[in-house]
Amino acid sequence: MGDGPSASGLPNGAAPLADPALARPASMQEWFEVTKEGRMDRMMPPWKNRLSDEEIWDAVAFAYSLHVTDTSLDQGEVVWGEQCSQCHGPQGAGDGPEAVANGWQMPDLSDLNAATARSDEEWFQTVSDGGGNMPAFSSSLSEDDRWAAVQFARTFSYEPARTPTLAAGEGRLLGKVVNNTAGGEVPAGAVVTLHPFENFEERRPIESTVGPDGSFTFDGLPAGDQFAYILTTDYGGLPFGSNVLSVPTDTLQADVTVPVWETSTTAGDISVELAQLFVESHQGNLLIGELYRVVQDGDRVYTGSEPAASGRNKVLEFSLPPEATALAMDGGEIGGRFVRTNNSVIDTQPLYPGRSQILMRYLLPYTGTSADFDREMSYPVDNLSVLVVDGPKVETDLQETDPQTIQDQLWNNFVTTNVAAGQDIKLRLSGLQRADATAAGAMPATPALTTAVVAYHPPIVAGVALVTGILALVVFVAYVLRSKPQHAVAVAPAGTSTSADGDERQALLQSIARLDDMYAAGELGEDNYVVLRTAEKRRLVQLSEPPVDDSTDSAAVEAEVSTDPGQSDA
Ligand code: HEC
């Protein structure tokens, strides 16, 4: 849609390729040319020296599928069967019975060279007005049907991704949209979208409209271990969602709540339940990780009132040392969700009631062998700890407590409680490795800090199910599972160990480790974590089961994946 984080820096923005109004008049060949040669007057760089022609075609084909919806392809398929196939043939090759009987000269719509030379609009004109032996459809088919038929005709030369529909079943899902804001109305007429997953692969979403009391029903759903469901709804322009639903029984009859809240431009009580600062020195830089578990104690979604530089509202603002470099935020980009100012970083994402989490990393240069780490807390903090990788001498007013071992690394631990907003946290580190002037710059790969930040964090309980986060996660899991070599797994007799099994096992273990990290970091609520992890573990056990005696191998797998998150070897 032309809304990527770098688009706001362009004089004319970026073209919204997914907008049918922009895509329909263009042919794929035109887009290929622009991508290859660039259009510098509009700040579109040429890609010819960086991507091969094949890679450019792949990217263009993907971009050209963005304005096409699953529903219009379905609709077009029906129109094609009824109105077009008798001449053009079922696969668009021009071999339909009517064309053959009349000996007509037919275009081959499955010819990629011909198809990519024509825009949707050119084809639409032909379908509407006819030409030669092609009849005009402008009076017999609606405009919508004609566009749909054109879009379907493209699938003969290239297949735009179409999400498969969900198989029919006996299950029924009952639920309710509940407004959790005091005095809030039930959003009558709201649309609830059901996102089904089958073995973590997305199936076509299904929509339903809520009744006057917020209730909704989805019928005819398949149930069983391999299915998972998430419900989402939009309310007041914001996304809300349920937890992931697992349906372990054969008949699905579930009750589910989709919570929504009203919005507010007035901040309620915002505090930090837990702040953890991680400090490590690396060649003239302090490498800092900061983790804040934020609590919004109101019953409304806080959307901010003051515009931030990006045109979005400022919701949270955390102080940041002006000399910080290589800032990276978890969960969003600088210039997108996050905006950096001279001495702070702003989060523009609306803040839902309950807990959420901010995680940032940056470098702080020092000179000589000592450094002052001086941090102003932007919000009141209940519990704060600063963990410093063992080595330098630390002087601070904070209380030193038991050191922590995280990922085989000893961290000295300095704590305090009840820090007021605006109060400074000060540490002086001396005896550091002498700063090396040439080493500053990119964030070094330091396993200690990056893994420690997620590993140490104690598990969070329930939180607001941030819809986009969960969907992204399920899609990520699907990606991991899909990237396995499927053939080899499918043809291998049960229990035979193949290298494909090994690859899938590896992918699953990585995915489980990542789920653990996300859960430990509070990015994933308990319910979702349990559902997703159980499903993956089940697949892992399945994969390791010998055909007859399944006690040994699956027990080993069990041991391998059952480590609690938060422990150092998770
Ligand atoms: C009676 C036979 C017939 C039917 C039915 C028919 N077409 Fe055609 N179509 C043709 C012929 C013949 C041509 C070539 C026209 C020409 O030579 O200008 C053609 C051309 C086209 C083209 C232009 C191809 C190109 O790149 O030049 C498109 C697109 C197309 N048809 C789509 C459709 C669709 C979509 C339908 C159904 C809604 C349809 N046609 C129904 C016979 C038919």
Instruction: Annotate 516-545 with three-state secondary structure.
Output: HHHHHCCCCCHHHHHHHHHHHHHHHHHHHC
- pLDDT at position 358 is 85
CA of 157 to the centre of ligand 1 (A): 15
Higher-confidence residue of 469 and 265: namely 265
Mean pLDDT across 279-304: 87
Reading the block at residue 168, the tokens are: 């029919």
CA of 65 to the centre of ligand 1 (A): 22
Closest ligand 1 atom to Cα of 145:
38
Mean pLDDT across 327-348: 86
CA of 158 to the centre of ligand 1 (A): 18
Q: What angle (nearest 5°) sits at the alpha carbon of residue 551, between those of residues 549 and 553? A: 100
Q: What band does 11 get if pLDDT is binned at 50, 70 and 90?
A: confident
- pLDDT at position 135 is 96
C-alpha span between 327 and 334 (Å, rounded): 8
CA of 145 to the centre of ligand 1 (A): 15
The CATH code of domain 270-456 reads 2.60.40.1730
Q: What is the pLDDT of residues 187-234, one digit of tens each?
A: 778 899 998 888 777 888 899 999 988 999 998 888 877 788 888 888
- pLDDT at position 245 is 77
- pLDDT at position 41 is 81
- Ligand 1: which residue has its CA nearest to atom 20? 134
C-alpha span between 449 and 568 (Å, rounded): 13
* Number of residues that make up the chain: 570
CA of 134 to the centre of ligand 1 (A): 5
CA of 27 to the centre of ligand 1 (A): 18
- pLDDT at position 424 is 96
Q: Which of the residue ranges 307-316, 318-327, 400-409 would you say has the lowest mean pLDDT?
A: 400-409
Phi, psi of 21 (to 5 degrees): -60, -30
Higher-confidence residue of 106 and 460: namely 106
3-state SS, one letter per residue, for 162-174: CCCCCCCCCEEEE
- Ligand 1: which residue has its CA nearest to atom 42? 134
CA of 555 to the centre of ligand 1 (A): 62
Domain boundaries, the chain: 7-64, 70-154, 171-260, 270-456, 467-561
Whether 126 is in the pocket of ligand 1, judged by its Cβ within 6 Å, is yes
Higher-confidence residue of 238 and 161: namely 238
Q: Which of the residue ranges 267-276, 338-347, 463-472, 549-558 would you say has the lowest mean pLDDT?
A: 549-558
Closest ligand 1 atom to Cα of 117:
26
Q: Has residue 411 got a pLDDT over 90? A: no
- pLDDT at position 522 is 63
Closest ligand 1 atom to Cα of 131:
18
Mean pLDDT across 360-373: 88
Beta-sheet pairing, 262-264 with 300-302: parallel
Whether 104 is in the pocket of ligand 1, judged by its Cβ within 6 Å, is yes
CA of 133 to the centre of ligand 1 (A): 8
Mean pLDDT across 389-395: 91
**Which of 84, 86, 109, 119 for a ligand 1 pocket mutation test, highest count of atoms within 8 Å of Cβ?**
84
The overall average pLDDT reported for the chain is 79
- Ligand 1: which residue has its CA nearest to atom 2? 87
Mean pLDDT across 44-59: 92
- pLDDT at position 503 is 67
Q: Using CA of residue 388, residue 390, residue 392, residue 393, what is the dihedral sign?
A: positive
Q: What band does 147 get if pLDDT is binned at 50, 70 and 90?
A: very high
In the DSSP assignment, the letter for residue 160 is -
Higher-confidence residue of 138 and 409: namely 138
Q: Has residue 382 got a pLDDT over 80? A: yes
**Which of 79, 126, 137, 145 for a ligand 1 pocket mutation test, highest count of atoms within 8 Å of Cβ?**
126
Q: Has residue 483 got a pLDDT over 50? A: no
Mean pLDDT across 66-89: 94
Which of 3-7, 189-193, 335-339, 414-418 is the most confident on average? Answer: 414-418
C-alpha span between 223 and 245 (Å, rounded): 11
Reading the block at residue 409, the tokens are: 């690394």
Q: Can you identify the CATH homologous superfamily of domain 171-260?
A: Carboxypeptidase-like, regulatory domain (2.60.40.1120)
Task: Point out which residues pair with 372 in neighbouring strands.
Answer: 428
Whether 106 is in the pocket of ligand 1, judged by its Cβ within 6 Å, is yes
CA of 136 to the centre of ligand 1 (A): 9
- Ligand 1: which residue has its CA nearest to atom 34? 84
- pLDDT at position 102 is 96
The CATH code of domain 70-154 reads 1.10.760.10
- Ligand 1: which residue has its CA nearest to atom 39? 84
- pLDDT at position 8 is 73
Q: What band does 395 get if pLDDT is binned at 50, 70 and 90?
A: very high
CA of 24 to the centre of ligand 1 (A): 18
Q: Has residue 446 got a pLDDT over 80? A: no
Mean pLDDT across 18-46: 92
Phi, psi of 83 (to 5 degrees): -120, -20
Helix H or strand E encompassing 262: strand 262-264
CA of 106 to the centre of ligand 1 (A): 8
Q: Which of the residue ranges 156-165, 238-247, 319-328 would you say has the lowest mean pLDDT?
A: 238-247
Q: Has residue 472 got a pLDDT over 70? A: no
Task: Point out which residues pair with 193 in neighbouring strands.
Answer: 207, 232
Alpha-carbon torsion, ordered 3, 9, 12, 15, to 10 deg = -30
Q: What is the pLDDT of residues 517-545, one digit of tens each?
A: 767 666 666 666 776 777 677 767 766 66
Whether 81 is in the pocket of ligand 1, judged by its Cβ within 6 Å, is no
Higher-confidence residue of 486 and 166: namely 166
- pLDDT at position 433 is 80
- pLDDT at position 478 is 47
Closest ligand 1 atom to Cα of 150:
35
Could you tell me the pTM of the whole model? Answer: 0.64
Q: Has residue 140 got a pLDDT over 80? A: yes
Q: Has residue 17 got a pLDDT over 90? A: yes
**What are the Cα distances from residue 227, in Å, to 200, 223, 245, 365, 474?**
8, 6, 9, 50, 12
- Ligand 1: which residue has its CA nearest to atom 30? 127
Reading the block at residue 519, the tokens are: 């859960």
In the DSSP assignment, the letter for residue 130 is -
- Ligand 1: which residue has its CA nearest to atom 10? 134
Which of 86-100, 272-286, 552-566 is the most confident on average? Answer: 86-100
- Ligand 1: which residue has its CA nearest to atom 37? 84
C-alpha span between 281 and 364 (Å, rounded): 9
CA of 88 to the centre of ligand 1 (A): 7
Q: Has residue 487 got a pLDDT over 50? A: no
| Within this chain, domains 70-154 and 171-260 share the same CATH topology | no
Closest ligand 1 atom to Cα of 76:
35
Q: What is the pLDDT of residues 236-248, one digit of tens each?
A: 888 888 877 766 5
CA of 130 to the centre of ligand 1 (A): 7
CA of 58 to the centre of ligand 1 (A): 27
Higher-confidence residue of 333 and 555: namely 333
**Which of 29, 75, 134, 147 for a ligand 1 pocket mutation test, highest count of atoms within 8 Å of Cβ?**
134
3-state SS, one letter per residue, for 334-369: ECCCEEECCCEEEECCCECCEEEEEEEEEEEECCCC
Whether 87 is in the pocket of ligand 1, judged by its Cβ within 6 Å, is yes
